Structure 1
């Protein structure tokens, strides 16, 4: 069974490898392109002010990678030995492993437990809400959509910020990267058109990717398409584009495998 992984290029590679190991004919069809932020000055300023914050929430692995790409040579942060006890909040294992690759101490990180199987802002809030009190200072590192607008999957991030503010926190955002719609080449368009009706399964982990698919192939009939979505909001976006068969799945490989198998 062919499976199309729609995550950005670097993120898609691991999923393609894992799905191929599970016996699927997996291909990467990135529907989001990730680039450095148009203005990197705010990230440099955020690093200089990092000690002011009680916690930094990284919305994704890309947020980690692009934020740390601007890390000063001397920045003793997110270590057990540091005198500044700023916490790192992440919504799932991808962003957690990205922090580990940057040398962040695991003891400084809050992340939903793997066995919970839900990796989003709601799950993260359940883990950290006890820390957030009046005067708590939170920095949220996020991406932006094309033309500087908030990225399409920012609903959960805004919800998280609202919860923090309701408990008396002071919240700031900084844009570390931008997400743009890719320019699909002719081979990619042919693959997408074929996969819309030949029994392939689309793996969607972002509603922004679904929106970009609609932009790339405007007016196309997706009613014969089949998809697995890793969040109810994403599943809703797939149905709104026209996908008739959409299976919701937890974002764990074992669950995604089972969801894909259910569509045979």
Structure 2
């Protein structure tokens, strides 16, 4: 249990949720419900692809696919947003999800058959998902990976090694944010008073974009919480003085923030 002094420090921190806007809102609501001061400051912008032809073709070919892997909630949302008229998700088609956020989106979209990492997995990522997929027979099966314009190919490589035919479909683009006035104000406050703010990172790309927004900054007084060791390593490389790590589960993130002592 955190001491009262640590709890006071945590309560005085403003947590800046840097996820894309759609996911940031959910996290802000959850953190506020836990008594924390949370604000959304998305550091990654999500945009639909300019030409949906590839996605329409992917929808039409779902009947011959044995698995569709969605790399993120945005991948699921944008893929279904581009569903052509008359196309339907096959009821028995298995979807793969790297974690609870993507799974929640898929269930809301009506997908029933979902494989995801174990609830107690050390991380929610491709490696943890592969632990659930590796026992299936992949030789000769077709797999579709729905992703953004960039990303890791680690899981696709594992599936190909097991004999699967893997194709990739780009469902959305990711870019640096264009901050509005409120976002600029939040950013400046965090730069001016780093000890009173906590950066909440769920992507190394968000760290990259923060560095671009404030180049040549001394980050030694800054604090961050990262949801994966790779992200934490990137935050430390930026120079942030305190970098905490937590699984991307609300209760664990809240507990991690509350553990902060002055």
TM-score (norm 2): 0.89
Partners in 2 of 1:76 and 1:194 — Cα distance? 47
Kept after mapping to 1: 8 A contact 2:14/2:198: yes
Deviation at 1:186, TM superposition (A): 4.8
Kept after mapping to 1: 8 A contact 2:143/2:165: yes
1:141/1:95 Cα in 2 relative to 1: closer, same or farther (>3 Å)?
Answer: same
Say yes or no: does 1:229 pair with 2:226.
yes
Alignment deviations for residues 206-258 of structure 1 (CA, whole Å, 9 cap, x no partner):
11111111111211211111000000010011111111210111111111112
Kept after mapping to 2: 8 A contact 1:6/1:205: yes
1:16 maps to which residue? 28
2:111 maps to which residue? 104
Deviation at 1:70, TM superposition (A): 1.7
1:88 maps to which residue? 95
1:147 maps to which residue? none
1:72 maps to which residue? 84
How many matched pairs?
247
CA RMSD in angstroms, aligned pairs only: 1.5
1:31 maps to which residue? 43
Partners in 2 of 1:96 and 1:117 — Cα distance? 17
Unaligned runs of 5+ in 2: 1-12
Deviation at 1:187, TM superposition (A): 4.2
Deviation at 1:47, TM superposition (A): 0.7
Say yes or no: does 1:123 pair with 2:135.
no
* Higher relative contact order, chain-length normalized (CA < 8 Å, sep 6+): 2
Partners in 2 of 1:218 and 1:185 — Cα distance? 19
Unaligned runs of 5+ in 1: 80-84, 145-149
Partners in 2 of 1:119 and 1:135 — Cα distance? 27
Following superposition of structure 1 onto structure 2, how do residues 241-256 of structure 1 map, counting pairs within 5 Å? 241-256=238-253
Kept after mapping to 1: 8 A contact 2:63/2:90: no
1:53 maps to which residue? 65
TM-score (norm 1): 0.89
Deviation at 1:260, TM superposition (A): 1.1
Partners in 2 of 1:64 and 1:37 — Cα distance? 13
Secondary structure of residue in 1 paired with 2:195: coil
Deviation at 1:21, TM superposition (A): 0.7
2:184 maps to which residue? 189
Partners in 2 of 1:235 and 1:39 — Cα distance? 35
2:166 maps to which residue? 171
Partners in 1 of 2:122 and 2:99 — Cα distance? 9
